[in-house]
Structure 1
């Protein structure tokens, strides 16, 4: 199934824009409860003003709130960015650490965010269990676990470590483009023959299903 997904989405990659580890860490934190496209739209102004941990840690709260305001939960997210940046400056001399053990000690950074940064910046394989990934691996019958950490370990046991990062991208892209939560495009799914959930929630008619396929993730 992963091999066919890789063939279906050869361009799969992290859909959050970033230039370095700090930017990816910040935009991943900001992506909670909003879409990657909205975060990408807010990113240029945010990093033009505060390009690194030292400048962001010293940012006036009011200005930072204005910059992240369109993303929702702006007060909470502003607090996260201030605390996160300060911790990087105080404990890691302004450099984003490159290990899971260190990353998860940062305020607001869990295993999902840490694995995004490790896999896409430091080339350290990691499984990103976001809502799409968790939903699809249960649909696929790969696991029945619902806790993200347990899902991460269960799926990690099924695939070689070297495949983890791209596996995450392939599954997430499929979840955003074909295997949607409410009405998956089952009849236009390249892995339907192996999927135990085929036809349960979505149409199996190829023409009807094809109308549901998205060329990119949701806005």
Structure 2
């Protein structure tokens, strides 16, 4: 895919949704960290429902620690893999209190050192909470990048590297959200809705459908 086509793709995505953001509900970097950490193999809707109950009770590292592991599990038990996620979140909160004065760090290395926080989660925090031009490649972005031809790669790291290189600078900050939303609602896994896609004529996917 050439640079002109990539530019037009993101120009159209921006025109359709000028201010994209995560569908997770959050009001602080810590709330976002908690939501993203809990969202692995879970829906944003499901995570939001649990956070509505958790955050009024505990929305700081100290608040989570004070809640205790059993109390935390009780609040997030509707989320898949909640036992493992609760353990990771509790360990993360202790580290935030011990090493970062209870604040979410802004350095990738510090974020990735937190239990349950990998590169993808770190990228979400850096981009959404702190405005860094990063791209967190999840299954949606991996699919869209490969299917359209925007940035083909055999693994998420390769796709991330190519996106950072090829996405026009003026669109880089919001590219993460545009691609996720496009993959979630239009360029879906089984039967992409090519008939209602605003970038269908630019997409290089050879097996386009007519589904709207």
- The reply to whether TM is greater than 0.5 is yes
Give the unaligned 5+ runs of structure 1. Answer: 211-219
Aligned to 1:203: 209
| Equivalent residue for 1:52, pick from 52, 55, 60 | 60
Matched, 1:156 2:164: yes
Query: Shift in Å at residue 160 of structure 1?
Result: 4.0
Stretches (4+) displaced over 4 A: none
Give the unaligned 5+ runs of structure 2. Answer: 1-8
Aligned to 1:105: 113
The 8 Å contact of residues 22 and 177 in structure 2, kept in 1 or not, is answered as yes
The 8 Å contact of residues 21 and 117 in structure 1, kept in 2 or not, is answered as yes
After TM superposition, the structure 1 = structure 2 runs for residues 165-180 of structure 1, keeping only pairs within 5 Å, are 165-180=173-188
Aligned to 1:194: 202
Query: Shift in Å at residue 161 of structure 1?
Result: 4.6
Aligned to 1:216: none
Aligned to 1:214: none
Kindly report the root-mean-square deviation, in angstroms, between the aligned alpha carbons of the 2 structures.
1.5
The 8 Å contact of residues 38 and 85 in structure 2, kept in 1 or not, is answered as yes
Aligned to 2:93: 85
After TM superposition, the structure 1 = structure 2 runs for residues 127-166 of structure 1, keeping only pairs within 5 Å, are 127-161=135-169, 163-166=171-174
The 8 Å contact of residues 9 and 173 in structure 1, kept in 2 or not, is answered as no
After TM superposition, the structure 1 = structure 2 runs for residues 115-134 of structure 1, keeping only pairs within 5 Å, are 115-134=123-142
**How many residue pairs are counted as aligned between the two chains?**
204
Rounded Cα–Cα distance in structure 2 between residues aligned with 1:11 and 1:164: 13
Please state whether the residue corresponding to 2:73 is helix, strand or coil: helix
Rounded Cα–Cα distance in structure 1 between residues aligned with 2:59 and 2:170: 31
The 8 Å contact of residues 2 and 167 in structure 1, kept in 2 or not, is answered as yes
| Equivalent residue for 1:114, pick from 100, 115, 122 | 122
Query: Shift in Å at residue 103 of structure 1?
Result: 1.1
Normalising by structure 1, what TM-score?
0.88
After TM superposition, the structure 1 = structure 2 runs for residues 30-69 of structure 1, keeping only pairs within 5 Å, are 30-69=38-77
Rounded Cα–Cα distance in structure 1 between residues aligned with 2:170 and 2:203: 24
Rounded Cα–Cα distance in structure 2 between residues aligned with 1:10 and 1:177: 17
* Deviation per residue, 1:24-67 (Å, 9 max, x gap): 00000111111001111111211122120112123322111111
Aligned to 1:26: 34
